[in-house]
Structure 1
């Protein structure tokens, strides 16, 4: 898979749960934020003029170490396994003060979709070119 984007964001106090670590659902929010930032950096942040854009059909996460407040993380986004209408993303979450340690890793399958028709459509050429390069 090809590294396509890195998002940097703070660990917020409210990200933690009663156990004193970042709640497992928040890790998915971190990945979502990184993925949306990547799409926005490509001018694809949401529905385009044709009513098309990305949808996630599955997501997964492996929790390797417990994140705690305070801190700053980076989410490295990788893309690959390109099909006609979909591609896989993989992501790594690292603390910026410990960049050699992966705290969690996960991913999601992205399908390009015509929102009104609720049907998949081909991945846009510019995104395909980035993944294939």
Structure 2
């Protein structure tokens, strides 16, 4: 499968993550759970770049569902390029989408996935409105990936 920009999504961030030997399972390829870790790495890096990281005593993001489609096996050694897209800001949530490719095979899609992120007040344990600047960021702009 070739890498393509998802429809109606806005590109927001990209991270390159090394494939560690310990990411592999007994079958000799990256374990399926690690793909979710790669998606988490780019999501947290993006939020931290916005000054909106995890805040266990305040407000912040939680994932309420996540999925991953495995298109090709990832194997050690190598580096994974994880591109993150956002869409559909709501009152307290937005959607994320991820495209995983290898740095040495940039046009091939190895996995794609997504998650719904909800903004919550950790103390109250309930959703709260998205910060306005985050809602604007998720809702505006184009979906062109960084060069």
Do the two structures share a fold, i.e. TM-score over 0.5?
yes
| 1:29 maps to which of 37, 48, 71 | 37
| RMSD across aligned positions (CA) | 1.1
- The separation in 1 between residues aligned to 2:115 and 2:59, in whole angstroms, is 18
- Displacement after TM superposition at 1:47 (Å): 1.1
Contact 2:19–2:75, Cα closer than 8 Å, also in 1: yes
1:100-119 to 2 correspondences below 5 Å? 100-119=107-126
User: Does the 8 Å CA contact 2:88/2:139 hold for their aligned counterparts?
Assistant: no
Structure 2 residue aligned with 1:17, among 2, 25, 40? Answer: 25
Q: Within 1, Cα distance between the matches of 2:133 and 2:37?
A: 26
Query: Which of 2, 14, 37 does residue 10 from structure 2 map onto?
Result: 2
Unaligned runs of 5+ in 1: none
1:88, distance to aligned residue in structure 2 (A): 0.4
**C-alpha distance after superposition, 1:77-113 (max 9, x if no partner):** 0000111100000001010111111100001000000
Residue from 98, 102, 107 that aligns with 1:95: 102
Structure 2 residues not aligned, in runs of 5+: 1-8, 141-147
Number of residue pairs matched by the alignment: 132
TM-score when normalising by structure 1: 0.96
More RCO (CA 8 Å, sep 6+):
2
Q: Which runs of 4+ in 1 moved over 2 A?
A: none
CA deviations on 1:19-53 (whole Å, 9 max, x unpaired) are 000000000000011100010010111118x7100
Question: Partners of 1:10 and 1:113 in 2: how far apart?
Answer: 31
